[in-house]
A and B are shown apart, each in its own frame.
Chain A
Amino acid sequence: MTDVAWIDTALTSARPQALGALLRYFRNLDTAEEAFQNACLRALKTWPQNGPPRDPAAWLIMVGRNVAIDDIRRRNKQEALPDEEAISDTEDAESEIAERLDGSHYRDDILRLLFICCHRDLPATQQIAVALRIVSGLSVRQIARAFLVSEAAMEQRITRAKARIAEAGVAFETPGAVERSERLSAVAAMIYLIFNEGYSASGDTAEIRAPLCEEAIRLARLLLRLFQTEPEIMGLTALLLLQHARAPARFDSDGAFVLLDDQDRGLWNQNMIAEGLALIDKAMRHRRSGPYQVQAAIAALHARAGRPEDTDWVQIDLLYGALEVMQPSPVVTLNRAVAVSKVKGPEAALAMIEPMAPRLSNYFHFFGAKGAFLMQLGRNDEARVAFDRAIALANTTAEAAHIRMHLDRLIRDSAPQTSRKAST
Chain B
Amino acid sequence: MLYAILCYHDEDTVGSWTAEHDAAVIGKLSVVQKKLADQRRLGPVARLLPTTSATTLRKDDPPLVIDGPFAETKEQLLGFYVVDCENLDGALDVARDLGRANPGGAYEIRPVGSLTHGSLPT
Q: Do A and B come from one complex?
A: yes
Of listed A13, A221, A282, A285, residue having the most chain B CB within 10 A? A282
Given A228-B67, A271-B114; A282-B53 close (CB under 8 Å): yes
Given A228-B68, A271-B113; A9-B17 close (CB under 8 Å): yes
- Quick one: CB contact mask for B81-109 with A, threshold 8 Å, 1 for yes? 00000011100000000000000000000
B16 within 8 A of A: yes
Tally of A interface residues using CB under 8 Å: 22
Using CB atoms, name the residue of chain A closest to B22. Answer: A271
B52 touches A221 (CB 8 A): yes
A279 touches B113 (CB 8 A): no
A275 to B67: give the CA distance in the assembly, Å.
15
B16 touches A9 (CB 8 A): yes
Which B residues lie within 8 Å of A271 (CB)? 113-114
- In this complex, the interface size class of chain B, counting residues with CB under 8 Å from chain A, is 20 to 34
B52 touches A279 (CB 8 A): yes
A9 to B49: give the CA distance in the assembly, Å.
20
Q: Which of A255-287 contact B (CB under 8 A)?
A: 271, 274-275, 278-279, 281-282, 285
Which A residues lie within 8 Å of B51 (CB)? 225
Q: Which of A13, A279, A281 contacts B12 (CB 8 A)?
A: A13
The smallest C-beta distance from B96 to any residue of chain A, in angstroms, reads 14
Given A285-B88, A285-B89; A237-B17 close (CB under 8 Å): no
Q: Which of B19-76 contact A (CB under 8 A)?
A: 49-53, 55, 65-68
A10 within 8 A of B: yes
Q: Which of A1-19 contact B (CB under 8 A)?
A: 6, 9-10, 12-14
Which A residues lie within 8 Å of B66 (CB)? 229
B113 touches A281 (CB 8 A): no
A278 touches B16 (CB 8 A): no
A275 touches B16 (CB 8 A): no
A229 touches B68 (CB 8 A): yes
Given A221-B15, A282-B55; A13-B113 close (CB under 8 Å): no
A221 to B15: give the CA distance in the assembly, Å.
9
A318 within 8 A of B: no
Which A residues lie within 8 Å of B89 (CB)? 285
A281 to B65: give the CA distance in the assembly, Å.
14
A229 touches B113 (CB 8 A): no
Q: Which of B12, B13, B52, B55 contacts A237 (CB 8 A)?
A: B52
Q: Which of B15, B53, B55, B111 contacts A13 (CB 8 A)?
A: B15
Q: How many A-B residue pairs have CB under 8 A?
A: 54
B50 touches A221 (CB 8 A): yes
Main secondary structure of the interface of A (DSSP, over half): helix
The smallest C-beta distance from A15 to any residue of chain B, in angstroms, reads 10
A332 within 8 A of B: no
A228 to B52: give the CA distance in the assembly, Å.
7
- Quick one: CB contact mask for A284-309 with B, threshold 8 Å, 1 for yes? 01000000000000000000000000
B113 touches A274 (CB 8 A): yes
B67 touches A13 (CB 8 A): no
Using CB atoms, name the residue of chain B closest to A228. Answer: B68
Given A13-B12, A13-B16, A228-B68; A278-B88 close (CB under 8 Å): yes
Which B residues lie within 8 Å of A275 (CB)? 49-50, 53, 111, 113
Using CB atoms, name the residue of chain A closest to B92. Answer: A285
A218 touches B15 (CB 8 A): yes
Using CB atoms, name the residue of chain A closest to B55. Answer: A282
Q: Which of A12, A225, A229, A274 contacts B16 (CB 8 A)?
A: A12
Which B residues lie within 8 Å of A218 (CB)? 15-16
A234 to B15: give the CA distance in the assembly, Å.
17
The smallest C-beta distance from B86 to any residue of chain A, in angstroms, reads 10
Q: Which of A12, A221, A224, A281 contacts B88 (CB 8 A)?
A: A281
A282 to B87: give the CA distance in the assembly, Å.
9
14 A-B contacts (beta carbon < 8 Å): A9-B13, A9-B17, A12-B16, A13-B16, A221-B15, A221-B50, A228-B67, A228-B68, A271-B113, A275-B113, A278-B88, A282-B55, A285-B65, A285-B89
Given contacts A282-B53, A285-B88, 12 further A-B contacts (CB under 8 A): A9-B17, A13-B10, A14-B12, A218-B15, A228-B52, A228-B68, A274-B111, A275-B53, A278-B111, A279-B52, A281-B88, A285-B65
Interface residues of B (CB under 8 A from A): 10, 12-13, 15-17, 49-53, 55, 65-68, 87-89, 111, 113-114
Interface residues of A (CB under 8 A from B): 6, 9-10, 12-14, 218, 221, 224-225, 228-229, 234, 237, 271, 274-275, 278-279, 281-282, 285
5 smallest CB-CB distances across A and B, nearest first, come from A13-B12, A228-B68, A278-B111, A278-B53, A229-B67
